[in-house]
Amino acid sequence: MSVRGFFRRAGGAIGVWLYRRTDGRAVPGPGASRVLLLTTRGRRSGEPRSTCVGALPVDDGFIVWGTGSGAPRDPHWFRNLRAAGRTDVQAGSRRFAADVRELHGAERDAAWQEVIERVPGVERYERRSGRTIPVARLTPVAAEAPGVRPPARRIGPT
């Protein structure tokens, strides 16, 4: 593992620990976004993997995006999310399971445009990466998340 990879992995582990320890209070999101803690099964290992990600609250859940800080490939956490189709979410002190639906075409473009408008500086990562940033909608599983409704904000067609 490279020195850079070591520090990236260590920083991620510290962020996860801090989020859990403070119920997310010490990890605010930029602009209109907030930070969620996602725990998803690894697509190859099957082991639970946790990571902090930026998210926008929408009427029926959250929108997340995989910039990977401008890396040329989709981040591992997003590839795991895509493969799993479901994730465990911690939003502050609330915890719930959520279904994952990757957005494509016009729906993805509308959601990404909303992210760009509400989260300062995020568009630079798409330019740097040279790829289309993947975007997904996380929808709480109703039976497992009674009363979990983030602030309403509709993104794209439903």
Q: Give per-residue pLDDT as tens, 91-115.
A: 999 999 999 999 999 999 999 999 9
| Domains parsed from the chain with CATH numbers | 3-144 (2.30.110.10)
| Span 110-146, pLDDT tens digits | 999 999 999 988 999 999 999 999 999 999 997 544 4
pLDDT tens-place string over residues 61-80: 999 999 988 999 999 999 99
* Strands, E assignment, 59-105: 61-65, 86-91, 94-102
23-69, pLDDT tens digit by residue? 888 776 666 678 999 999 999 999 999 999 999 999 889 999 999 88
Whether residue 150 has pLDDT greater than 60: no
Count of beta carbons in the 10 Å neighbourhood of residue 63: 23
Distances (CA, A) of 21 to 17, 27, 37, 39, 84: 6, 11, 12, 15, 26
What is the model's pLDDT at position 45?
A: 93
Give the residue among 40, 34, 31, 25 at the shortest CA–CA distance from 61.
Answer: 34
Q: Bigger pLDDT: 135 or 157?
A: 135
What pLDDT score was predicted for residue 102?
97
Q: What is the model's pLDDT at position 30?
A: 64
3-state DSSP call for residue 28?
coil
- Note the pTM of the prediction, 2 decimals: 0.81
